[in-house]
């Protein structure tokens, strides 16, 4: 018998829901969630729409646009809710942006971004499957960019 586990509500912060099962720890890595953050994690919860899902609730933390964009690379089906006083007050469906700035490290070791202190910029040419082009070395990378950056 499998029952949905309820993850406790948080007073204020961010809830990232509908993360593909097993990807929650990648999201934690990406967001640099550390020992001092108060988080609640649910994995393999049943979801009426998507079968199984992971959920993470982060107390007292709001995500920047860059952070939301980076989450989109590992969990494009995720939704982000901002919680105020135990109530969701804003819900956003995340989407891979057209430009990824300062999120990824270029996998091309000879790329100038790996030797000079410049912010990486990738233009997203296709989202499914992912295809992105480094604006500095013009190399194109696919889904493997995630692995190269230990996403
Ligand atoms: Zn590059």
This prediction's pTM: 0.78
Q: How far is the CA of 109 from the centre of ligand 1 (A)?
A: 8
pLDDT at position 30, please? 84
What is the mean pLDDT of the segment spanning 123-147?
A: 87
Q: For the chain, give every residue range classified as CATH 3.30.70.140.
A: 13-93
C-alpha pair distances (Å), 71 with each of 33, 48, 49: 13, 22, 20
In percent, the amount of the chain with pLDDT more than 70 equals 89
Q: How far is the CA of 121 from the centre of ligand 1 (A)?
A: 8
Class of domain 13-93: alpha beta
The CATH architecture one would assign to domain 99-148 is: Roll (2.30)
- Mean pLDDT for all residues in the chain: 86
Token pair for 86: 């135990």
What is the mean pLDDT of the segment spanning 76-97?
A: 90
Q: How far is the CA of 129 from the centre of ligand 1 (A)?
A: 19
pLDDT at position 146, please? 54
| Residue 49 binned pLDDT confidence (cut-offs 50, 70, 90) | confident
Query: CA 92 to CA 50: how far, in whole Å?
Result: 17
Residue 148 has pLDDT above 50, yes or no: no
Q: For the chain, give every residue range classified as CATH 2.30.30.20.
A: 99-148
Torsion angle in degrees (nearest 10) through CA of 142, 148, 149, 151: 70
pLDDT at position 47, please? 79
In the structure, ligand 1 is a single-atom ion and the residues with CB under 5 Å from it are 106, 108, 111, 134, 136-137
Relative orientation angle of helices 24-31 and 65-74, to the nearest 10 degrees: 150
What is the mean pLDDT of the segment spanning 95-101?
A: 90
């Amino acid at each position: 018998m499998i029952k949905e586990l309820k993850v406790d509500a948080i007073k204020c912060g961010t809830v990232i829901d509908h993360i593909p099962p097993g990807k929650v720890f990648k999201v934690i890595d990406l967001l640099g969630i550390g020992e001092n953050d108060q988080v609640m994690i649910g994995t393999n919860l049943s979801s009426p729409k998507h079968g199984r899902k992971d959920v993470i609730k982060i107390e007292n933390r709001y995500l920047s646009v860059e952070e939301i964009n980076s989450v989109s690379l590992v969990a494009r089906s995720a939704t982000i809710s901002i919680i105020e006083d135990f109530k969701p007050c804003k819900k956003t469906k995340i989407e891979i942006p057209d430009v990824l700035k300062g999120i990824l490290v270029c996998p091309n070791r000879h790329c100038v971004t790996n030797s000079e202190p410049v912010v990486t910029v990738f233009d997203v040419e296709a989202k499914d499957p992912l295809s992105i082009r480094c604006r500095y070395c013009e190399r194109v990378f696919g889904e493997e960019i995630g692995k190269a950056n230990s996403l």
